[in-house]
Structure 1
Amino acid sequence: MTTAPVPLSGPRFQTEPTALYREMRRDHGAVAPVVLDGDVPAWLVLGYRELHQVTGDPVLFSRDSDLWNQWDNIPADWPLLPMIGRKQPSILYTVGERHRERVAMISNALEATDPFELRGHVERFADELLDAVCGKGEADLIADYAMLLPVRVLAVLYGFADEQGPGLVSALNDMIDGGEGAIPGQMHLVTSMTALLADRKANPADDVVSRMLADESGFTDEEVTQDLMVMMAAGHQPTADWIGNSLRLMLTDERFAASLFGGRHSVAEAMNEVLWEDAPTQNVAGRWASRDTRLGGHHIRAGDMLLLGLQGANSDPQVRIDGSVLTGGNNAHFSFGHGEHRCPFPAQEVAETVARTAIEVVLDRLPDIDLAVPAEALTRRPSPWLRGLTALPVRFTPTPSIGSPSA
């Protein structure tokens, strides 16, 4: 095996990540040394068994970023600081009993959401977005649809008024893009969340924010605000990419052709296959070794950072049969994580409902939908972390708008 670390950047994460993970596994084994922006070292866990071990042992592989042995080498303007934070009062970086209490607070708040109301919200916003394009006979299902829908649904679940939704969409997308609008976008979200918390403390309602504030575990307003920000960011972009990646699969793979013409039975299969083969969240930072140990044949030093290679583990040959995985009904993928810090189950249910309903509404509303460009012309965002399309141009027979039903 070679020992030279692999840069966790470059166009191959955009064009051929599966082949790249295969080469990394060949050259380094189940755990590969990588370097992040600024030649910052880390380990990428690619093995299914090894990832299960790391995520299942929160004592040895902690979520406490204060353990990192590289902090002295990290500049104040390091571009990954928003992703790998320090002293952040959010669920991402709490450990032990306090973390379990935060998971319970979030899970209880989301679990109380009526599934029929949730689906109704998705259908309402989906119809509104499709009304804007259905008469044109063409659309970009990423920019016009997938990137606008999940955050609108989350906003109404939180308790925001409908008219605040578009502003939250713009702010969140600006923050995720990481460009000039990232800081203003983040500030808009923080200001909006703070105002909503203040209003709900004075006027509780049947929404996620009110239920989190009613929790008796003693979390501060700052902690609740941070968790709401994490939930919105984690719930929006991966769900948008789940919608886009699933629609791409259904439009390019003949196995799902029947679902494009009045059928729905293959939607769930396509969505599950995406979680195995084209996961929206490819890699996640991170875990930190609390002491020296060995993993995948490598010596891991105390304080080393480990990145969770979710897609790499999903494509591990050890969980494959003749090079493929039996995805139908098989939910043993890592796309939602694993262990104490995995995505809470109620959040997974919300994401699945939003994504599935969004796809079904497209299939219902846009007859004879087809790609407007060759499949090989579709491109991905250049990110080793999230995997989503830059655009999904489609054409269809123009249809009249139906108008959004009342809330």
Structure 2
Amino acid sequence: MNPTRKIPRPPFGAHRAPAARPTVTPLRRRPVAAAVPIRPPVPSDALLDAVRLRLAESGAPPSAPEVAAAVRATSPSLDGDSVLDAVRAVRSELVGAGPLEELLRAPEVTDVLVNGPEEIWVDRGAGLRRETSVRFPDPEAVRHLAHRLATVAGRRLDDARPWVDGRLPDGTRLHAVLPPIAAGCTHISLRISRPQPFTLAELVEARAVPRAGAELLRAIVRARLSYLVSGGTGAGKTTFLAALLGLVGRGERIVIAEDSAELRPDHPHVVRLQSRPPNQEGAGELTLRDLVRQALRMRPDRVVVGEVRGAEVLDLLAALNTGHEGGCGTVHANAAADVPARLEALGSMAGMGRLALHSQLQSALDLVVHLVRDPRTGRRRVAEVHTLDRSTGGITVTSPAVTFGSDDSVACGPGWDRLLRLCNARGVPITWGSR
């Protein structure tokens, strides 16, 4: 049934003369269709070009009032509701994420992946599911969106550098790859950042951290122990690290070095440094290693490396060995026991010998906190806390101090006594747990 059709009504006052009422044939009731999310219509190329031209001629920014004025001037026949729909659609194409805009605004969505014009996958907290209600007109539209998002993120994306890793103004992490690196079509990966960082209490409520584990983590932060958060891709390392940094004393200064600004801890004194790729002439690059060196000159109380994945591991270990207690970062690893080997591989890429790196590692790092993600349910949680020890050959090995089960159980391991000694030495006793 056409929702705009109106059923004829008797004139005002007809109730006083029943005989004069017109006969109205009852309409058959039709089944009501299920509610479908309302999405802004895709604007025509002519409307987009006209709005772009008017904004360019006037020099006005693509704000909602300016776009609305341009739409009214371009299409004066549109009514009020149509103008609002057109403004939302045009702005999503000019400065937003186009067809993906509504998905990015949904509070339950954590990831949006585009593999092609009609192949879009969404993670709403329970694993990836294919999205059938959103599509692009053609592969060129996907490439155009990737270029626009890269420009908004202040990054370069072209045939000479066919990939980009950046951060959008709203905190969404962007990664895109152009053909021929990506076979067939441009690939876009968007990871939505929560406007407000998770607190440790919220992670406990979400069963990402057991309540007993939260008490232990607070003690680790208060004791200014140095640690790395390890885990696979999508395990929640950045979210978890931001929650721990929110526990740092309000009188301390946190300096963060990252490739893309992802860490946003709830703390009043945070300095964030972001690396920069080279320009078209190959100059102007600022690496993560450069940022770590600069961070050490900024009077930090806590030095944080968003993700250790290159030669910056040397500068981080050097910083933690020169009195900068409580430093931390994240690293990709399949298990906490694999972290020393992972750091050894990164150090060898920077030309540091095996024994030299392990010697630095043993005196710089205190703990490894490992996170896992259940592939069936999508649940992310803290799995174990390891301490670091020296083997007979001088190689660093980890020892499990605490293991957290998927049922929130807690078990202490061989490294528990060392963890107690580390905290007690800093004046932060731990009152629970036993061997």
| TM exceeding 0.5 | no
From the two aligned structures, give the one with the greater strand fraction: 2
Task: Give the TM-score, by structure 2 length.
Answer: 0.23
Task: Give the TM-score, by structure 1 length.
Answer: 0.25
Higher RCO (CA < 8 A, seq sep 6+): 1
Greater Rg by CA: 2
